[in-house]
Structure 1
Amino acid sequence: MVFQGSSAALSHTGKVRSNNQDSGYAGSNLFVVADGMGGHAGGDVASSLAIARIEGLDQPYESTADAQRALQKTITAAAGDLIDTVKKRPELAGMGTTVCAIIMVDEYAVIGHIGDSRIYLYRDDALTQITTDHTFVQRLVDSGRITPEEARYHPRRSVLMRVLGDMDDSPEIDTFVMPTRAGDRWLLCSDGLSGVVDDVHTAKTLALGLAPGRTADILLKLALDAGAPDNVTIVIADVGGQHPVMSGTPTIVGAASNPEGVEVPAARPGRVSWLHPARQAANEPTHFEPAAEYLEEVIEEDRRRARNRRIGWITGLVVVLVLIAAAIFGAYQWTQSRYFIGTNGTNVVIFRGIPQNLGPIPLSSPYEDTGLPLVALPQFEQEVVQDTIASDSLKDAERIVDQLRQNVGSE
């Protein structure tokens, strides 16, 4: 059965990259995103070769089992295409690509996946990530070493542990089947979208219920507003729904839209704003590190980073506490350079400090009992002394006391 629904695909170079290494495909039954890697001269070729091989799967299938076998076999064959290409063009050695693909078979979605391009399902007002990233940081998340939020900003977030490349003719590809139903919205995207636009904003956009093409445009704008440090490729497939069924020629976008997979016109140069430092996850080139030794090495590095982070926090806390203590000590020393006139209840007393308390701690102490009885002063001056008289210095305080002595018995 031909897929009943509507779809759209778009791809954009982004604001930083000089060429587009992504490719996307939206057809009658088949939907694919491939994110190429391998530098300026290789990633676009890799994703184009993958799409060229996989697009032959865009046909009806008798069963999900047939589609799943075909998807597994074809993605593996695409790895062979990359290997053959590198033999002819050695300068492309090291190229590779992610692949995430859906074949719609009746009421089911047959899914194939390798790398960190993602497939999401929006159903019943909830967005669910269907695929699991084949990345180093995802392994850290799965093992409980870091949280998903920490993974977004981890320095090794661009390291892939599985990819369709020119070094392995039998790549490990995840394939599985899921039921789908009318009203479902399937989103396939490269990390140029998922790396800078969080799930909350993606879900809000899908919830608008706009046509797939308009929805993809809004998601792209979100990525561009966040700096778009990487190529952005989006494919949306709506199951059923109110929007017109798209039929006819498949939509091919990105590097695969050019027959030889050459670079597409570059976007105007831009830079990632310092206002979005946490959204630069996709700015570092993706690369492939399959070796177990590398994994252990980076895990140990992650432990060192965690230890250094704790030491940094402790050191920072100690510095802050020292600064606070120094400030308190300095403030206290300043108070002890001040003097005022008050009373101990009987006599006029010169106090050192200020007539306030810091909680239960007094900030003054008697400096000199003048021997001048408070009751010997006129009533008005008794009240003034009881309220305390500020002075600029010890000498000034002694001068004030001398004036008070002159007024003794004047009432």
Structure 2
Amino acid sequence: MATSGNSAAASHVGRVRANNQDSAYAGTHLFIVADGMGGHAGGDVASAITIKHVVEADRVFASAEEAAEILHDTLLAANNILSDTVIEHNELTGMGTTVSGMVRVGNRMAMAHIGDSRIYLLREGTMTQITHDHTFVQRLVESGRITQEEAAVHPRRSVLMRVLGDVDASPEIDTDVFDTKPGDRWLLCSDGLSSFVTEDKIAATLRRVTDADAATERLVQASLDQGAPDNVTVVLVDIGEDETSARTPPIMVGSAASPLSFEPSIPKKPVRLPNLLLHPLKATQPDDSHFEPESDEYYQAIIREDRRRVRRRRISWIAFITITVAAITGGLIGGYQYTQLQYYVGADDGQIAIYQGVQQDIGPISMSHVYQITDIRVVDLPLYRQASVENTINARDLDDARRIVKLLSDARVP
């Protein structure tokens, strides 16, 4: 945990990952979070390079619009640096990073964003997501193909459509300018927080814990309490009456806080240029999330694949339900047929009768019926025989039931 004035920043490797691929920076005017991707050999490098370069934008600007433009251009320059780094270190092929950053200019915030890291604003107790996720499932939600609830469990929820990296020379970066005022709390986070802690719980923590340091620590712990399979990084910025939200010196957390290392964890074969152009992401194995370029051809292909997956799932469920219903129906029919092979002797309206079935009912359904009524009256039997008939007498089969009836007939009192 590190703090700087009215801001705080924290990054944790999580409970599953071996290394931290997140990076973050909290400075005098600039606040930024980057979530690296590309496996052990690249994600940490991508986020660290980006953060270390973008810190150039931590300065005073004449206007928020100028700050947004410079932040945008600085991220594009970082993208070029990542591409150049891959040329020099081909073991890093496929590395990339999401970025969500903002610069405070007086009472305004200049924002630049790409990927699925997020910026939230808590104002007067209400939290709003400021950024837009550049993910495949978000496009499905916006097109009305799936709901937000379905997006949370979609098998391609980790597919990113836009990132900084060595794939796209001119990635599309969202920029915007927002007003801010004293009392606002701005939260920047990687998806290690937003994917595992609900927005309601995040907002409740920001409302309840007023100290930026403590609130940041509480949010990281909330993700760890959920198992935190991913790295989790948080930057919190409180807006006060002054023009800045932090004091020098600035702080870095995550992989950017350590010296850069370009040594691959596993030796890799050199990547030939044609392969790099045709399959820029195949040289390294991604972790839980991966990137696919944003194109209508890819989007439509995935839509078709998703439809096939839904159809297969429906067919599987229909088949499962059909087989289950058939098995239950067959079991009930077989069970009923078995009961109709059973007989017992009892009383029916004062007369001795042979019953077919068993002496049980399932709700309103009787599992037996009168098979034969005899001319023997129950009152003509000795008292102990009368009690036996009233309580029913089980028989092995129909012949045995008739034998029991003959015995009762012979036992009648003259």
TM-score by length of structure 1 reads: 0.85
The Cα shift of 1:215 comes to 1.6
CA distance in 2, matches of 1:389, 1:331: 22
Partner of 2:85: 85
Partner of 2:143: 143
Partner of 1:340: 344
Matches within 5 A, 1:61-210: 61-210=61-210
SS in 1 for 2:91: helix
CA distance in 2, matches of 1:285, 1:162: 12
Residue 354 (structure 1) aligned with residue 351 (structure 2) = no
Q: Which deviates further from its counterpart, 40-49 or 290-299?
A: 290-299
Task: Flag the 1:261–1:184 CA change in 2: closer, same or farther, 3 A.
Answer: farther
Asked if 1 retains the 8 angstrom alpha-carbon contact of 2:160 and 2:289, the reply is no
Q: Which of 314, 319, 322 does residue 315 from structure 1 map onto?
A: 319
The Cα shift of 1:162 comes to 0.9
The Cα shift of 1:134 comes to 0.6
Alignment-mate amino acid for residue 290 of structure 1: E
Matches within 5 A, 1:3-402: 6-240=6-240, 246-260=246-260, 284-345=288-349, 347-359=351-363, 361-377=365-381, 385=389, 387-394=390-397, 397-402=401-406
Identity over aligned pairs, percent: 48
Asked if 2 retains the 8 angstrom alpha-carbon contact of 1:341 and 1:388, the reply is no
Asked if 1 retains the 8 angstrom alpha-carbon contact of 2:39 and 2:287, the reply is no
TM-score by length of structure 2 reads: 0.85
Alignment-mate amino acid for residue 189 of structure 1: C
Asked if 2 retains the 8 angstrom alpha-carbon contact of 1:255 and 1:262, the reply is no
CA distance in 2, matches of 1:392, 1:178: 87
SS in 2 for 1:98: strand
Asked if 2 retains the 8 angstrom alpha-carbon contact of 1:352 and 1:364, the reply is yes
Task: Flag the 1:221–1:121 CA change in 2: closer, same or farther, 3 A.
Answer: same
Asked if 2 retains the 8 angstrom alpha-carbon contact of 1:123 and 1:183, the reply is yes
Q: List per-residue Cα deviations over 1:227-277 (Å, max 9, x = no partner).
A: 222221111111229xxx7522111011111242669xxxxxxxxxxxxxx
CA distance in 2, matches of 1:283, 1:330: 52
Asked if 2 retains the 8 angstrom alpha-carbon contact of 1:5 and 1:239, the reply is no
SS in 2 for 1:62: coil
The count of residues paired between Structure 1 and Structure 2 equals: 386
CA distance in 2, matches of 1:375, 1:95: 95
The Cα shift of 1:128 comes to 1.9
CA distance in 2, matches of 1:340, 1:300: 63
CA distance in 2, matches of 1:333, 1:257: 76
Q: List per-residue Cα deviations over 1:179-226 (Å, max 9, x = no partner).
A: 222222211111122222222222222222242222222222222222
* Structure 1: unaligned runs, 5 residues or longer: 264-281
CA distance in 1, matches of 2:240, 2:380: 101
CA distance in 2, matches of 1:108, 1:408: 106
Q: Which deviates further from its counterpart, 165-174 or 140-149?
A: 165-174
Task: Flag the 1:19–1:359 CA change in 2: closer, same or farther, 3 A.
Answer: closer
Task: Flag the 1:297–1:10 CA change in 2: closer, same or farther, 3 A.
Answer: same
Asked if 1 retains the 8 angstrom alpha-carbon contact of 2:344 and 2:394, the reply is yes
SS in 1 for 2:6: strand
Q: List per-residue Cα deviations over 1:14-64 (Å, max 9, x = no partner).
A: 222222221100111111001112222222221122112211111222221
* Structure 2: unaligned runs, 5 residues or longer: 264-285
Name the Cα RMSD after superposition.
2.6
